[in-house]
Structures are given as C-alpha cells and as structure tokens.
Structure 1
Amino acid sequence: MKIKNRLALYFTLISTVILLIALAIILVIFNSFAKSDFYSRLVDRAKVAAQLYLEADEISPDSLSHVRERNLKQLPGEVTRFYDDRNGASFIRDRQQYWDSNVINMVRKGRQVEFTEGNRQTVGIYYNDNQGNFVILTSAVDIQGHRRINDLIEIMLIMIVWVVAGLFFIGRWFAKKALEPIDDIIGQMQQVRASNLSMRINEGNGKDEISELAQNFNRLLKHLDNAFEVQQTYVVNASHELKTPVTSIIGEIEVALNKKRPNEEYEQILKSVLNDAENLNETITGLMELAQVDMSYTRAELSPVAVDELVWELADHWTNKMGKGLFAVSIQHLPDDPEKLQIPANKSLLIIALNNIISNAYKFSDKQRVQCDLYADSSHISITISDKGLGIPAEELEKVFQSFYRATNAKDYKGNGIGLYITGKIISLFNGTINATSEPGKGTSITVSFIN
C-alpha cells in the first residue's frame, strides 16, 4: 500500500474513532436527557393525580375521572396507582395489585424514587394528606422518546458513512499534497546514474524532514561522486604516470648497454636513472596515497579529532624532520569550550592531507620556514599554512587541486600533481573547504576550514 493511501486510511480511522466517541457521548447525553425529561413528566402526573384524588374531597369519582381525562393527556401504557398505609390500592381499583409491597415500601422509604421496568419508566412519590399517607406510583412507556433515539441513531449512521467517505478522500488529497515533494525527489533520484553522480537533488527552501532527506541524499551523492572520481583518477592515470619513468629508465639502461662507455658517461646515465627512479618512487607514493583515500572513501570511520592537538603533532613531526625553527605555529584564537575544537574525521587521512600541503610548502620554498596559523571559535575552525616560496599564478589557483595538474612555474620541481588533489578530496570528505591565495615570487597560503 502506498504511503499516501496508508496516511489517508490512518487519518480516516483516527477521525472515525473520534467521531464515534463524540456521537456516542451525544447519544448518551440525549438519552439521559430524554429519560430525565420523561421522569419529570411522570412526577408531574403523579402530583396532579394526587391533587385530583386527594385534595378534591367534594368531587365525585366520576367527575374526577372526567377532570383527569380532560386535563391530563394519557401517556402510552400509562398506569397510576395509590397505595395506603397497608399497601392496599386506593381510589383506582383493579383486580391486580400491579406493584408489590417491596416497591411500595421502597418509595415510602425513599420519599421519591425513579426506576425502569423493562421498557417502562416508573416514578413513585410519598404523599401526606388529611385522609392518610399514600404512595403514588405512575408508570408509562416513552414511545416518542424511543422513536427519537432510533431516528437519531439512524441519522448518525448515515452521517458516519458519508463523513467517513469524505474523510478518506480529503485525507488522501492532503496526503498527496504533503507527499508531492517526495514524489519530486523520487523522480529526480530515478535520473541519477553512475555517469552523472555530479547531479544534485533540489533541496527546496524549507527546513522540514523532506528538505533534510534531500540534503542527506545530496551528501551521499557528493560522497559517491568523490569516491568514483578518486577511483577513476587512479585507474586512468596510474598506468600513464608509471609508464613514463619506467620507459625512460629502460631506454637509458639500453643505451648504456649498447656499447662500452667511459666511466663518466656511466655515472651520468646512473644519475639520470636515479632521477627517474626518484620520480617513479614519488609517483608510486602519491598513487598509494590515492588508493588509500579511495578505500577510506568507501569505509571511512569518523571519530572526534582535536584540531589543536593535531597541529602540535604536525609541528613535532616537521620540526624533527626539517629542523628547529623551520615550522612555526601561531594560535590566533581558541574557543572556551574544548569540544568546539573537535571535528568528525579520520585522523590518518587528515594527517595525509595536511602533510601534503606542508610538504609542498617546503618543496616550493626551497625548505624555508613554514608558518601554520590556527583560528577557532564556537562555529568555525581554520588552519592556514603559508610559505615564502615560488607562488602560483592567479589564473592557476583553482587548477592546482585537479588531478596531476602542475603549475607552469613548477615544472622544474619534482612532483606528479597528486598531492593537492588528494588533499582536496580528503577535506571534502570531512565536509571542509580548501582554498589557496598566492602571489608569484612571494609565497602561497592554503587555508583548510571546517564548520562545527
């Protein structure tokens, strides 16, 4: 069953139950009111009968009957009886006692009682008179009241049928309207293929659960898009980047073996082979990092990482590697709450990303001093790594984060263009941003930012 039909059914059932409870309460109140009204009428008839029979001593019984019939319209199945102190019937005699002594004594004790006998309603009153103390019992069937109750039940049943049908169609219409954004999202999802993972679902302007669903699906698409891109980059470029230095090494060795040469030429060839081997090693290292990022994209386990502690760990590592004073850390601002310094990330991948930036800073500044600035407040964390090296042309700042791209002024430096590409993917995986500012000849600053 579709959700819209299920919601309409649930809405109808709940509304029907509430309606039935309300109608049942109305029916009970109406029935109680009808009974109470009929009891009042019976009490009035009993009192009028008492006045007619007990107060009018000079009027003959026949005249009393005439007055009673003229002033009191007979109720359906009406029975009225007078009983004296000995529980004997008075004034109105018949062959049957009609009510036994138990009922008569109950009225005498309670002074005024109301009770039902089958479909009959009965009232009894205790009446003091100069002729004696009498118990007057009056009983009748409220046919008109029963008819009204039955008519009311019939009207309610008809109303329930129509109202329930109306509630279902109204509920289905509301459910359809409420779920229209989900239908739109489903339609957009059906267009997503492996070839267009860059596509994004319309998140709308709302802040409801549907917008949250679209946002989470877009995060998943972004995650998959990055993972596929990393994987495709590895597959497409691995063979080419490995083949070039290997081919060069093989060619140089073949030239060396082609004929005997002086030691100086062998030394020159070996230096060239060593250079190609170093390039090959750097390429393999970059590709291994790329492969590690690829695997982590599919099964990265995130845990809180304290950014300030991570920066000091990097400072210790690069100080030991490059020498004292060559890696400077500046804490510009820290929040009062230590938890605001934590981000959900994979620490090993984050270290790879930041090490790639720092490594480039040293490489393109000829191992000059590198500055690391940390700024954090209650909503934002940023790490800026600056060098005083070669710099990047302004038109190439965005391109340096592409796979295997190298700036035009960096061709004389060893490298393969994988490092910043990997860094960008890792930072993106942890919902961070990375951007670079540079001035050729004066240095480069790369800032990694996270929102917490």
Structure 2
Amino acid sequence: MKIRHRLSLQFTLISGIILTIVFVLIYLLSAQYIQNSFYKLLQMRALVTAQVYLEKDELTKKKFLEIEKSYRERIPDESSNIYDQHNQAVFIEKTKYNWPASMLETIRHREVYRFRFQEESGLGIYYPDNQGNFVVIVTARNTMGIQQLNYLMWILIVMFLVALLITFVMGQWYASRALEPIKSINRQVKNIRSNNLHMRVQQGRNKDEIDELATNFNGLLQHMEQAFDMQRSFVSNASHELRTPLTTIIGEIEVTLQNERSREDYIQTLGTLLGESEKLKIITDGLLQLTRLDVILTDTNSELIRLDELLWEIQEFWRHKTPTVRLHVKLNDMPEDAAQLCIRGNRSLMTLALQNIIRNAFKFSYNRDVDCQLTYSKSGITLSVSDHGIGIADADLEKIFMPLYRANNAHAFDGYGIGLSMTQKILQLHKAAITVSSVLGQGTTFNIFFPHVQKF
C-alpha cells in the first residue's frame, strides 16, 4: 500500500474515532436532556392533577377552570394515581397500575421520586393538603422524545459517514500535496546512474524533513562520486604499478627465449625476474594488508597507549637506524595528569601508522631531520609531523591517501603508494582524523588529531 493511501486511511481512522466520541457524547447528552425535560413535564402534570382533585374547594372558579383546561391537555398514554395516607387510591376511579406500599413510602420520604416502569417513565410527588397528606403518581410514555432521539441518531450516522468520506478524500488530496516533494525526488533519483553521479537532487526552501532528506541524499551522492573516482583512480594506478613489472618479466622471458644464452645471461635474466616478482609480491602483500585493516577495535583487542611514550620509542628506533639524522620530538602544553595523554587502541597498528608517516618524511626530504610535536588541549591531542622535503602539489593533496597513488614528483623515490592508505585506515579505526598541508619544494606537515573520548 502506498504511503498516500496509508496516510489517508490513518487520518480517516483518527477522525472517525474523534467523531464517534463526539457524536456519542452528543447523543447521550441529548438523551439526558430529553429525559430530564420529560420528568419535569411529568412533575408539572402531577401538580396539575393534585390541584384539580385536591384544591377544587380552595380555588376560585376562574383559576380552577384554567387548571382544569391544563389537565385536559394530557400526555399520550398518561396515567395518574392519587393515594391517601392509608395508601388507598382516592378520587380517580380508573387506575392503570396498583403501586406497592413500599414505593409510596419512598415517595413520601423523598417528596419527588423518579422511576422507570416497563417502557414508561414515572414520577411521584408527596402533596400535603388540608384534607390529608397524599401521594400523586403520574406515568406516561415519552413517545415524542423517543422519536427525537431516533431522528438525532440517524442524523448523526449520516453525518458520520459523510464526514468520513470527506475526510478520506481530503486526506488523499493533502497526502498527495505533502508527498509531492518525495515524488519529485524519486523522479530525479531514477535518472541518476553510475555515469552521471555528478547530478544532484533539487532541494526545497521549506527546511523541513524532506529537504533534509534531499540534503543527505546529495551528500551520499557526493561520497559515492568520490568513491567511484577513487575506484577508477585505484584501478588505473594498480594497473600501472602491476603492469610495469609484468611487462618487464614478459619482455625478459621473450628476449631470453629468442636465442640460446650463456649461463651468465640466464642468471642475469632470472635475477631480473626475481626482482620484478618481489615488486609484485610487495604490492600484492600491501593490498592484502589494506583489506585486513577492516577490523573493529573493542575493549578486548585494544589497550591504553601513552602517545608521548610511543613517540620516545619511535625516536629511539630511528636514532639507532639512522644515526646521522634525527627525529626531534617536542611536547607542548602537557597536562599535569599523564593519563590524559593516553588513547585506547592497538599499539602495533598505531606504531605502524606513525612509522609510515615518519618514514615518508625522511625519504622525501632526502634524510633530513624531521620535527614531531605533541600538543595537548581540552578538546584532544594533536600530533604534527613536519619535514623539509620536496612537498606535495595542491592537485595531489586530496589523492595521496588513495591506494597505489603516487604524486608526479614522487616517482623518483622507492615506494608503491600503499603506506599512507594504510595509515589513514588505522587512524580511522582509532577515531582519529588526519590532515595534510604542504608547500611544493619546501616541505609537508601531517596533523593527526585524537579526541579525548574514544568509544569502540
């Protein structure tokens, strides 16, 4: 069922429930009002009956004729009884009902008593007079009231059905108008394919949930477009990196097979093949290691790592490996509690990520000194690694973290474009963010930000 129909039915159901409650209240209140009005009429008839039979000797002739005229205007199916203090029926010879003494005592006690008998309404009053104390009972069927209630009930039923029909039709119209932006988004989305991911969904001006949906979808399209571009670039770079050693291997084998060679030539050819095969192995191992980094860090496979201690360990490693150059470590704005320099993560992976950055800093600066600064702040910990090397062009800054991508000025150096991709994945696992700034020919700075709150 479409959302438009479902919304219309739900809106109609809610309206139906509200109308049912309102109409039932109207019917019950009207029934109560009609019943009370009829009981007041019965009370008036009881007083007129008492005056006609008991006050005849005390009223003027004119007044008595007015009361007698009112008495003749009877209610349909009206029946009257008058009882004396001995519970004997008096004055009225033909009585429709013989009421029990217990009811008469109840009327004397309450003075006005309403009751229902069979399908009729009845009312009794206690009427003291100079001739004695009497009880007057009048019963009648509220035919007119019943007809009014039946008429009101049919009116409410018809109004209920008509209101539900109008509500459903208006709900359909309103739902169609409300969902029109979503229909527009659907029409635009149908035209978006992998070859035109640059297209975007038009956003409205209402700043509502639908506009938020369009904004989020455009953001998703942007990420997909970037992912497709990265994938195409990765395929291009991978094919280039893999094709070079494969071409060398195939060429060497073809040349060697053309003529018979000496033992030294075969050894030289096999050495070349071995070198190119090792390049292929390094590339494939790096790509395999990248796929294995898609893990989830938990409390079981992570530990607390003090970043300052980790930097001292890395500094000691490079001091023994390259005694002629140095890794300078500087600590800024350190907290009093050293525990605030701790992050939760995998120590070996974090060491690998930082070593990749520092190794590149040494390599692309022709083994000049590298500066490393650790700065503490309330929002987190920032680690900066700076070199004085060849730098990175602005066009290459957004691509250096792509697997197998190498900038134009980096082809003269050994490497396969896997280290920074691996580093970025490791830092993402640790909820850290990495940015890079560079000036071509002057140097590059990598900034890594570790937030204080890390939840895995």
TM-score range, shorter chain: 0.7 to 0.9
Aligned to 1:323: 319
Q: For the residues of structure 1 that align with 2:303 and 2:446, how far apart are their CA atoms?
A: 16
Measured in 1, the distance between the counterparts of 2:430 and 2:191 equals 27
2:168 is the alignment partner of 1:168 = yes
SS state of the match for residue 80, structure 1? strand
Residue 91 of structure 2 is matched in structure 1 by: 91
What is the distance in 1 between the residues matched to 2:371 and 2:334?
19
- Displacement of 1:78 in angstroms is 1.9
Write the distance in 1 (CA, Å) between the matches of 2:113 and 2:74: 21
Pick which of 222-231 and 405-414 moved more.
222-231
Matched, 1:146 2:142: no
Partner deviation per Cα, 1:121-176 (whole Å, 9 max, x = no partner):
21101111111111001122222222221221121111101111111122233333
Q: Does 1:106 align with 2:102?
A: no
Q: When the two structures are aligned, how many residues end up with a matched partner?
A: 439
Distance 1:187-1:374 versus aligned 2 partners, 3 A rule: farther
The AA in structure 2 aligned to 1:23 is F
Instruction: Provide closer, same or farther for how the CA distance between residues 416 and 313 of structure 1 changes in structure 2, counting only shifts above 3 A.
Output: farther
In structure 1, how many angstroms separate the alpha carbons of the residues matched to 2:88 and 2:76?
25
How far the C-alpha of 1:83 sits from its partner, in A, is 0.8
Give the Cα–Cα distance (whole angstroms) in 2 for the partners of residues 433 and 206 of structure 1. Answer: 34
> Could you tell me which residue of structure 1 aligns to residue 323 of structure 2?
none
Change (3 A) 1:65 1:57: closer
Alignment of 1:335-354 (within 5 A): none
Alignment of 1:27-66 (within 5 A): 27-57=27-57, 66=65
Separation in 2, partners of 1:124, 1:282 = 110
Supply the AA of the counterpart residue of 1:318: I
In structure 2, distance between residues paired with 1:220 and 1:364:
36
1:173 alignment partner, SS class: helix
Give the match for residue 76 of structure 1. Answer: 76
Unpaired runs of at least 5, structure 1: none
**Structure 2 segments unaligned to the other structure (5+ residues):** 321-325
The verdict on how the C-alpha distance between 1:351 and 1:86 changes in structure 2, with shifts beyond 3 A counting, is farther
Encode CA deviations 1:364-419: one digit per residue, 9 max, x unaligned. 123422414456554x7755332222223455544545664434433321123444
For 2:159, give the aligned amino acid: M
Contact 2:80 2:137 in 1 (8 A): yes
Tell me, in whole angstroms, the C-alpha distance in 1 between the residues paired with 2:346 and 2:193: 28
Classify 1:110/1:340 alpha carbon distance in 2 versus 1 (closer, same or farther; 3 Å).
farther
CA contact (8 A) 2:364 2:390 kept: yes
1:250/1:209 CA distance change after superposition, 3 Å:
same
Give CA deviations for 1:229-288 in whole Å, capped at 9, x if unaligned.
666555544343133235446767968x945779xxx99x99988876775555444433
The residue aligned with 2:157 is: 157
Q: Which residue pairs with 2:131 in the alignment?
A: 131
Deviation larger for 151-160 or 353-362? 353-362
SS at match of 2:80: strand
Q: Give the match for residue 12 of structure 1.
A: 12
CA offsets 1:302-348 (integer angstroms, 9 cap, x no match): 669999948457536633532376262645588x9x999989x9998
CA distance in 1, matches of 2:306, 2:196: 36
Contact 1:318/1:327 (<8 A) preserved:
no
**Inter-partner Cα distance in structure 1 for 2:341 and 2:55:** 96
1:201-350 aligned at under 5 Å gives the runs 210=210, 235-248=235-248, 258-259=261-262, 280=280, 282-292=282-292, 296=294, 301=296, 309=305, 311-312=307-308, 315=311, 318-323=314-319, 326=327, 328=329, 330=331
CA distance in 1, matches of 2:58, 2:214: 96
8 Å contact kept, 1:53–1:64: no
CA RMSD of aligned residues (A): 4.7
Deviation at 1:24, TM superposition (A): 0.7
Offset, 1:13 = 1.0
Instruction: Return the letter of the residue paired with 1:57.
Output: D
Deviates more, 1:156-165 or 1:196-205: 196-205
Tell me how far apart the structure 2 counterparts of residues 373 and 205 of structure 1 sit (CA, whole Å).
Answer: 45
Of stretches 199-208 and 115-124 in structure 1, the one that deviates more from structure 2 is 199-208
Q: 2:302 touches 2:346 (CA, 8 Å); kept in 1?
A: no
CA contact (8 A) 2:234 2:402 kept: no
Q: How high is the sequence identity, in percent, across the aligned residues? A: 37
Aligned to 1:138, the other structure's residue is in SS state strand
SS at 2:116's partner residue?
strand
Structure 1 residues 207, 423: CA separation in 2 closer, same or farther (over 3 Å shift)? farther
When normalised by structure 2's length, the TM-score is 0.75
Residue of structure 2 equivalent to 1:365: 365
* Letter of the structure 1 residue corresponding to residue 70 of structure 2: N
Distance 1:167 1:340 in 2: 64
Q: 1:59 to 1:290 in 2, by over 3 A?
A: closer
Note if contact 1:371-1:387 (Cα within 8 Å) is conserved in structure 2: no
Mapped contact 1:89–1:97 kept (Cα < 8 A): no
Larger deviation, residues 129-138 vs 415-424: 415-424
CA contact (8 A) 2:433 2:450 kept: yes
Q: Which amino acid aligns with 2:438?
A: S
Deviations 1:182-214 (A, max 9, x none): 334433443444445566656767776556655
Contact 1:84 1:135 in 2 (8 A): yes
SS at match of 2:126: strand
Q: Which moved more, 1:176-185 or 1:219-228?
A: 219-228
Query: Separation in 2 of the partners of 1:329 and 1:364?
Result: 21
Counterpart CA distance in 2 for 1:333 and 1:182 is 53
The 3-state SS of whatever aligns with 1:323 is helix
Q: Separation in 2 of the partners of 1:363 and 1:281?
A: 22
- Matching residue's letter, 1:146: I
Tell whether the 8 Å contact from 1:432 to 1:449 is kept in structure 2 after alignment: yes
